[in-house]
A and B are shown apart, each in its own frame.
Chain A
Amino acid sequence: DQQVKQNSPSLSVQEGRISILNCDYTNSMFDYFLWYKKYPAEGPTFLISISSIKDKNEDGRFTVFLNKSAKHLSLHIVPSQPGDSAVYFCGGRDSGSARQLTFGSGTQLTVLP
């Protein structure tokens, strides 16, 4: 049972344009969502997060939107840069005592110069 789904394995965007990465979840107990970025041969690094009580969080070029009724969140990168090319993982944090962080399968973003 995949609690977090990233249905697009890959996405290509032209430099300077907007990148939109999508994520769907099924677990209603998630109270926090996080995005991580991963370059080859490196561990994932934290990018941006959002609490379930909010619908938007912005940090520079990165904005995450949360639609709780649809159980959907998206990460917007504007403008996209070649250095943004990486695998992006969406994760949901369970509000239960275990506080487990469950990730999706990732989306490979390629920003073309």
Chain B
Amino acid sequence: KAGVTQTPRYLIKTRGQQVTLSCSPISGHRSVSWYQQTPGQGLQFLFEYFSETQRNKGNFPGRFSGRQFSNSRSEMNVSTLELGDSALYLCASSLEGRTGELFFGEGSRLTVL
């Protein structure tokens, strides 16, 4: 069974640009969550989607947005990039009804110059 796939794995942008990251969940998983990992801040929750609906949102500015498609694939977008947005963005999928186990992808490493 294929794991969670995230693309691109690495990307470099400049301030003010926007970026779109993609996530394909494990087949059969309908819940997709996004996390930002920065040194010292751990894994900070961005948002969660289930059946194309945003079910939960973390404490991030409106520049961060996402969506989920009917095939459960998800994208997140960051507009007007800032230097502080440089981070590893992790996508995780899970089965609904499970006790909370998330399956993470390898992440997309974003560098903002």
Chain B nearest CB: distance from A10 CB in Å?
11
- Residues from chain A with a CB closer than 8 A to the CB of B15 are none
- Residues from chain B with a CB closer than 8 A to the CB of A44 are 43, 90, 102, 104
A67 on the B face (CB < 8 A): no
Inter-chain contact B102/A46, CB cutoff 8 Å:
yes
Out of B45, B101, B107, which one reaches A100, CB within 8 Å?
A: B45
Inter-chain contact B101/A103, CB cutoff 8 Å:
no
Contact bitstring A35-75, B, C-beta under 8 A = 1, else 0: 01000011111100101000000000000000000000000
- Given A43-B90, A93-B99, check contact A101 B45 (CB 8 Å): yes
Instruction: Give CA–CA (A32, B99) in the complex, Å.
Output: 7
Interface, chain A (partner B; CB < 8 A): 6, 9, 32, 34, 36, 41-46, 49, 51, 89, 91, 93, 98-106
